């Protein structure tokens, strides 16, 4: 499938700040199921800085915006050709050992309820258990935007029983780590849900490391593994670590952010 992305993130400050420094994970991953046709990231007033590929295989690009700055717009436009790999991340080059993703973080910290849900998942092997855990998360947390926020933890989302894709991913990561399965958070884009209905185009899911297969994606929010409707950007221990845009503004200002994302299917 050939997908086009138009992603605009706008930042506004109530008073001008001295400068803004950002780190972007906005370049699609390079692996067997994904090929970039064209891709461009622009930042208003931005000076492009260092660029490197980190240990997880993600491209990280630095930007600096000299002040005074009262607003910043990050525009992403591009086309990616995708292939359904049944969620398996084949051909992705990285140097970090999978076991480092057994490390617990604040958003994925296990509690009694999470441990019980993890223990309830059964299967004949690690892959079957991973599928069972993903379905358990889908059943336990109804998809409902607006009820959680950026800092909601996995334990809080499970107790609430509602949330968005970030919450589904955090809970699945917590369950997997509780069962000794390395797991990480993935950010990206989604063209549509499995039945073709519109969905939030900026999306997130989890990857679990399965013996014999490597990293395999699971999307509890849509009860499936990522296929050719998905564009993978980058990964991390949790949502904050995998954020497509991270930054710091120098100055005492209140920041407002607005995001619009459109993902469309284009002609081959």
Give me the tens of pLDDT residue by residue for the chain, a chain 268 residues long.
999 999 999 999 999 999 999 999 999 999 999 999 999 999 999 999 999 999 999 999 999 999 899 999 999 999 999 999 999 999 999 999 999 999 999 999 999 999 999 999 999 999 999 999 999 999 999 999 999 999 999 999 999 999 999 999 999 999 999 999 999 999 999 997 656 555 668 999 999 999 999 999 999 999 999 999 999 999 999 999 999 999 999 988 999 999 999 999 886 5
Instruction: Say if residue 73 is in the same domain as residue 159.
Output: no
Total count of domains within the chain: 2
Give yes or no: residues 191 and 101 share one domain.
yes
Quote the domain boundaries for residue 130.
Answer: 84-236
Rounded to two decimals, the pTM is 0.94
Residues 100 and 46 in one domain: no
Token look-up 């519109």 returns 198
CATH code, 132: 3.10.620.30
User: Do 73 and 129 have their domain in common?
Assistant: no
194 and 68 within one domain:
no
Place of tokens 């549509």: 192
pLDDT of residue 90: 96
Question: Do 226 and 251 sit in the same domain of this protein?
Answer: no
Q: What is the pLDDT of residue 137?
A: 98
Residue 59 and residue 104 in one domain: no
Q: Are 3 and 79 in contact (CB under 8 A)?
A: yes
Q: Say what the pLDDT of residue 67 is.
A: 83
Rg, Å, the chain Cα set: 18
For residues 165 and 199, give the distance between their C-alpha atoms in angstroms, rounded to a whole number: 11
Asked whether residue 42 falls in the same domain as residue 128, the answer is no
C-alpha span between 134 and 138 (Å, rounded): 6
């Amino acid at each position: 499938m050939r997908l086009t992305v138009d992603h605009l993130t706008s930042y506004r400050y109530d008073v001008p700040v001295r400068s803004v420094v950002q780190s972007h994970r906005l370049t699609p991953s390079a692996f067997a199921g994904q090929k970039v046709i064209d891709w461009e990231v622009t930042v208003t007033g931005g000076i492009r800085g260092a660029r490197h590929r980190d240990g997880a295989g993600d491209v990280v690009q630095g930007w600096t915006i000299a002040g005074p700055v009262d607003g910043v717009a990050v525009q992403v436009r591009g086309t990616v050709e995708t292939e359904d790999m049944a969620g398996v991340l084949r051909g992705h080059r990285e140097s970090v050992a999978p076991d480092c993703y057994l490390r617990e973080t604040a958003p994925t910290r296990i509690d009694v309820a999470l441990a019980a849900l993890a223990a309830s998942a059964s299967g004949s092997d690690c892959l079957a258990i991973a599928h069972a855990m993903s379905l358990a998360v889908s059943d336990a947390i109804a998809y409902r935007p607006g009820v959680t926020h950026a800092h909601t933890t996995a334990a809080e989302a499970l107790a609430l029983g509602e949330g968005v894709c970030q919450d589904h991913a955090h809970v699945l990561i917590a369950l997997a780590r509780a069962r000794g399965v390395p797991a990480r958070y993935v950010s990206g884009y989604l063209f549509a849900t499995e039945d073709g209905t519109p969905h939030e185009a900026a999306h997130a899911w989890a990857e679990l490391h399965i013996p014999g297969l490597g990293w395999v994606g699971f999307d509890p929010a849509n009860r499936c593994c990522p296929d050719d409707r998905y564009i993978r950007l980058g990964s991390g221990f949790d949502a904050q670590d995998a954020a497509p845009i991270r930054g710091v503004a120098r100055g005492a200002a209140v920041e407002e952010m607005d995001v619009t994302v459109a993902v469309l299917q284009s002609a081959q």
